[in-house]
Amino acid sequence: MASNASERPRIGITTYLEPIIWGVWHRDAALLPRVYLDSVVAAGGVPVLLPPVGTDASILDLLDGLIIAGGCDVDPASYAAEPHPETVDTRPGRDEHEAILIRAALDADLPLLAICRGLQMLNVTLGGTLQQHLPDAVAHDEHRPSPAIFGRTEVKIEPDTKVGSIFGEQTTVHCYHHQALDRVADGLRVTARAGDGTVEAAEVDGSDFAVGVQWHPEENPEDLRLIAALVAEGKKRSTRR
């Protein structure tokens, strides 16, 4: 028998604030690609959108899990760096919003999944830095092969990790990014890398489930194991609430 909606864990997902056009309107709006929503629903959760305005970390008290979504470049000022020429279209307000939510989620041990930019925000929030233009370091564009085209990346996973328990020793993932982790923050353990050394996953020491991945699990509807793992952790939390 299917679960009632009230029994399904509520998973918050951060959103973009962007100028968009719909119908006759051209305005700023909070938005999120539908694949995030569909993935959470397919994994058994209820998605709750968290716009980057009116930030109040107490909203997490109502949630069973949190996804920090992908998106634009992280503002290098947030890790005391000068912008690279390829670092464009930053959203400092969103950075601040997500940093507040990340800190609050970690303090509350709320199940957390940080996706692509989300992993970068997790690292920066904990004191790490970013490689602002990955091709400078790896001499190829395979992590973002062309506009709006996802790359396919083989990642090797460390044993005895959350990601390893889900995927085993390696997996192939969908990726789309030109930035990546550089100096890894204290308390953040690298748990997967691409063949070129790029950090592809990291986990927060001491947390029950605080995982960041550089890839986009929501873009592969045939393999929702990672999002399902977050929802399962949220389910455990919801039964204790």
Does the active-site annotation cover 218?
yes
Predicted pLDDT of residue 81: 97
Confidence check: pLDDT of 239 > 80:
no
Of the chain, the percentage scoring pLDDT greater than 90 comes to 94
Model-level pTM greater than 0.85?
Answer: yes
Does the active-site annotation cover 216?
yes
Q: How many helices (H) and strands (E) does the chain have?
A: 6, 13
144 three-class SS: coil
Residues in the chain: 241
Domain of residue 88, CATH code: 3.40.50.880
Catalytic pick among 98, 200, 203, 218: 218
Distance separating alpha carbons of residues 94 and 205, to the nearest angstrom: 25
Predicted pLDDT of residue 241: 66
Catalytic pick among 97, 143, 177, 216: 216
| Structural domains in the chain (count) | 1
Closest CA to 122 of 50, 67, 65, 163: 67
Pairing, β 16-22 against β 25-31: antiparallel
Full domain range(s) for residue 221:
5-240
Predicted pLDDT of residue 238: 81
Predicted pLDDT of residue 1: 34
Catalytic pick among 116, 143, 200, 233: 116
- Across residues 86-101, what is the average pLDDT? 96
